[in-house]
Each structure stands twice: as C-alpha cells, then as structure tokens.
C-alpha cells in the first residue's frame, strides 16, 4: 500500500501548486526514508539513483529538446507567422471560410516548425482572432479553431512531446522485452514516432478543415469570404517568400531524420541554426529578442530536465515499494484483456491531463503503464501516437485545458469562458474520432515507419 500512498501524496502535493519537479522528488525522498526505516524499501534502489541521473544528463536523445525549443522560440520571436497568415489569407480569400482554413494551415506549419503549443496558440490568438471576429465569425468557432490548431504541435513532428515519449517508450520497450526473456537490440526511436505521427496528424488536420467547410455550407452567414488579391507574378513571389523558408526548414529537419541522414539531435541542431539564419535573413530578430529567445530556451530546458530528475527519483522509489508489480497485476486482471487495459490507461491519462502538463504525464505515468501494455502485445509506435493524441486532447478539455488558458490570456474581454468551452467541444470530438480511427486502423501509425525503417 505504500506505493499507492506515494502516488496519492504526489497528486495532493501537485494540486497544492508546489513546483512539479520538487513535488515528485521531495515526496519520493520522504517515502524512501520511511520505507527504509520500516524495511519496505531496499537501500540498493537509492544507490542506483546517481547512475540514473547521470544517464539522464548524458542522454543523446534528450539533447534534442533544448535545440528544438530554441528553433521554435526563435521562429516565434522573429514573427514568421505574420507573413504566413497574410499570404495564406490572400490565397484562400475567395473561399467562404477561407480565413479559417488559412488559420488552420498556418497553424500546421507553426506546429511543425515550433512544436510549442503555448507559442502557437498565443501567436495565432493575437494575429487571427481579431480578424476572424471582425469578419463575422462566431466567437465560439473562432476560439475553438485557434485552440485546436495550436495543439497540433503535440502530434505533428518535430514535436517535443514525441521526443520525450520516444525516450520513455524506448526504455519501456526494452524493459518489457527483458521481462519476457527476449534479448534483442530492437528499440523505439524518435524517428519511428515522427514517421508514425505524420499520417494521423495530417488526417486530423483534414478532419478540422472538413468540419469547417461543412459548417460554412450550413451557416454561410457566419463565414464571409475575405478580400483576395489577383494571382499575378507579384503575389506568387510574395507567397513563395512566406512559404518556402519555413517549409524548407521543416523538410530539412524531418527529411534528415526520416531518411536516416541525421539523428534527432543532429537534425534539431540544424533546425535551430536554420531558424536563426531565417530570422537574420529577414532582419526580424534584434539582439534583445535573440537574448530573450535564448533565455526562454534555457528556462524551458531547465524545467524539463528538473522534472525528469524528480520523475526518475519518484519512479525509482515507486518501483522499490512494489508499485510496478501492483500496476502490472491491476492492468493484467482487467476484463477485456489488452483492449480493457488500454481503455483504462487512456482514460486515466485523459483525466490526468486536466491537472498535469504533458511533461509530467510522460515522465511519471507513462513509465508505470507502458511496460505492461507492451507486454500485452501493443505496438510501441502505435501506443506512442495514441498517447500523443490523448495528451493533445487533454490540452483542449475544459475546465483545465492549457490551450484554453493560453488563448484566454490574449483574447478580448468579450470572449467569456463559456463561449471558449463551447467552441472547443466539436474539435475535442474530432480528436476522439481520430483516436477511434487509429484504434480501428493501427496501420495509420505503423505503415509509414515500417516502409521507411523496415
């Protein structure tokens, strides 16, 4: 029962507002002290902690995190989204709901180039929400579309969430193989998850656009066409100037990973350097903005690694107190076998997404449940994409969805919380539909990695 008490105490401390990293590590240390004093915890578990911490700081895959963060923050600070939104708005201006479609497509490009949900939601909220409201879009739909598009950074590569999930699932997969007596060098790479997320991510974007077109057909009075410019040579040049640099950067980063030319860390370094070169070429990044971007990168990186250190201590003590065995037995005994266990895990993670960030869920919850699910026969790439979609859905779900808070901070006072909640509801349904499609056709996530990597 001490393992269960440890988990409950950590949840209570987190709800109190105490910093996550210190809540995880501090609570685990107290339970380690109690467990050692009462004989419930072998001291050898704590003796393994220095090696685990050194392994975290020496992890080549996790080195991609600060580089991808730097790439995203630099692109955000250099105002790449403004030119993109202007060009896409003019391109689709003739269409009814053309502005909404432009917002979604620009959101996809921002998600693929920045991978930071907060940055994408805030940027799109500042740039596109006033324009959508001015052109007669319903406030609920406009806010819901921006929030849903902003969360695409969770699933569309190069996503920081997929980088972290790749590292955690790789360890869980090796652990599951050892428990089954399988000694194989096969593992789960970040490239596998990047390839597996491409098709589901694009299908989800297609669902968003299809819903928008259907809504504009049924309620045309709320989706006025915007002014468009003639497709002449000058406009084509302006469009290419806005689209080619970010798309080239995305293809350079993703292509080098998927083709095996570079590791995720090397590709992230190329992406960060490319983002800096783009900003300098456009002369849109001042010295103060560059320093602010680097400071933000250091802040996010320190937060991620500090949470990872606290999570490592928590998982070590939790395992030493028998928590891993408890979870394995509980999931294995559920009715419905692997389907029942997967449903329960997805529901728990969805609910935890109300109160925890994806980083805490990835480092704390996923290592506890993933080995058992993989031992029950789930494909690790499919599981990673399902977890990514689930975490993305929790970003939208009221009342604690983080994307809602991000947009609420930059939205006009006339946009109340009830309108915001009503606006994201259809997009939450579309994301759940995407998870259902992925459950029915796992090949949506597994086909491309198998074609690329065999």
**What integer pLDDT is reported at residue 399 of this predicted model?**
67
- Measure the CA–CA gap between 207 and 199, rounded to whole angstroms: 12
Concatenated DSSP letters for 238-282? HHHHHHHHHHHHHHHHHHHHHTTSS-HHHHHHHHHHHHHHHHHHH
**What integer pLDDT is reported at residue 234 of this predicted model?**
76
**What integer pLDDT is reported at residue 224 of this predicted model?**
67
Query: How do the pLDDT tens digits run along the chain, 454 residues long?
Result: 788 888 888 878 877 777 778 888 888 888 888 887 887 777 666 777 787 777 777 777 778 888 888 887 887 777 776 677 777 777 776 777 778 888 888 878 877 776 667 667 777 777 778 878 877 788 888 888 888 888 888 888 878 888 888 888 888 888 777 777 766 656 778 888 988 999 999 999 999 999 998 988 888 776 766 666 666 777 778 778 878 888 888 888 888 888 878 888 888 888 889 888 888 887 777 888 888 888 888 888 888 788 888 888 887 888 778 777 777 777 777 787 888 888 988 988 888 777 677 777 888 888 888 888 888 888 899 999 999 999 888 778 776 677 887 787 777 777 787 888 888 899 999 999 999 999 999 999 999 988 887 7
Peptide bond before 287: cis, by omega within 30 degrees of 0?
no
**What integer pLDDT is reported at residue 115 of this predicted model?**
64
**363 to each of 4, 21, 307, 313, how far by Cα in Å?**
18, 11, 8, 11
**What integer pLDDT is reported at residue 434 of this predicted model?**
94
- The CA R_g of the chain, rounded to the nearest whole Å, is 22
- Measure the CA–CA gap between 28 and 250, rounded to whole angstroms: 40
Burial of 338 (0-12, 13-18, 19+ CB in 10 A): middle
What size, in residues, is the chain? 454
**What integer pLDDT is reported at residue 375 of this predicted model?**
86
98 neighbors 226 (Cβ within 8 angstroms): yes
* Domain residue spans of the chain: 38-302+383-453
37 neighbors 234 (Cβ within 8 angstroms): no
346 neighbors 385 (Cβ within 8 angstroms): no
Q: Which residues contact 19 (CB under 8 A, 6 or more apart)?
A: none
**The model's pTM:** 0.82
CA neighbor of 357 nearest in space, from 118, 191, 111: 118
């Amino acid at each position: 029962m001490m393992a269960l008490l440890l988990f409950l105490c950590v949840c209570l401390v987190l709800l109190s507002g105490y910093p996550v990293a210190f809540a995880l590590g501090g609570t685990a240390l107290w339970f380690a002290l109690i467990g050692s004093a009462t004989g419930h915890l072998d001291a050898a578990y704590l003796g393994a902690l220095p090696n685990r911490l050194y392994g975290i700081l020496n992890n080549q895959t996790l080195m991609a995190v600060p580089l991808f963060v730097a790439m995203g923050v630099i692109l955000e600070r250099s105002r790449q989204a403004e030119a993109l939104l202007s060009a896409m708005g003019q391109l689709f201006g003739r269409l009814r709901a053309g502005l909404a479609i432009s917002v979604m497509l620009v959101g996809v490009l921002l998600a693929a180039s920045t991978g930071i949900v907060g940055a994408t939601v805030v940027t799109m909220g500042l740039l596109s929400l006033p324009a959508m409201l001015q052109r007669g879009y319903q406030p609920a739909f406009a806010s819901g579309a921006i929030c849903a598009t902003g969360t695409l950074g969770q699933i569309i590569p190069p996503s920081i969430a997929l980088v972290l999930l790749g590292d955690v699932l790789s360890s869980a997969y090796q652990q599951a193989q050892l428990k089954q007596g399988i000694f194989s060098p096969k593992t789960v790479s970040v490239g596998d998850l990047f390839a597996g997320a491409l098709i589901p991510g694009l299908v989800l974007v297609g669902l968003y656009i299809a819903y928008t077109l259907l809504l504009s057909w049924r309620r045309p009075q709320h989706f006025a066409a915007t002014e468009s410019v003639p497709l002449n040579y000058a406009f084509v040049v302006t469009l290419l100037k806005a689209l080619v640099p970010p798309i080239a950067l995305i293809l350079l980063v993703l292509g080098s990973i998927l083709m095996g030319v570079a590791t995720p860390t090397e590709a992230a370094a190329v992406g960060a350097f490319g983002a800096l070169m783009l900003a300098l070429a456009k002369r849109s990044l001042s010295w103060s903005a560059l320093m602010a971007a680097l400071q933000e990168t250091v802040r996010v990186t320190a937060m991620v690694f500090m949470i990872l250190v606290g999570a490592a201590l928590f998982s070590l003590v939790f395992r030493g107190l028998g928590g891993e065995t408890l979870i394995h037995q509980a999931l294995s005994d559920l009715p419905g076998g692997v389907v029942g266990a997967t449903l329960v895990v997805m529901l728990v993670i969805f609910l935890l997404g109300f109160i925890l960030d994806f980083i805490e869920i990835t480092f704390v919850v996923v290592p506890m449940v993933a080995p058992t699910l993989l031992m029950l026969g789930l494909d690790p790439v499919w599981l990673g994409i399902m977890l990514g979609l689930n975490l993305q859905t929790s970003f939208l779900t009221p009342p604690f969805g983080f994307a809602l808070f991000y947009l609420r901070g930059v939205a006009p006072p006339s946009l109340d919380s009830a309108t915001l909640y009503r606006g994201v509801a259809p997009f939450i349904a579309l994301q759940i539909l995407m998870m259902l499609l992925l459950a029915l056709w796992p090949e949506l996530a597994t086909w491309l990695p198998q074609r690329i990597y065999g």
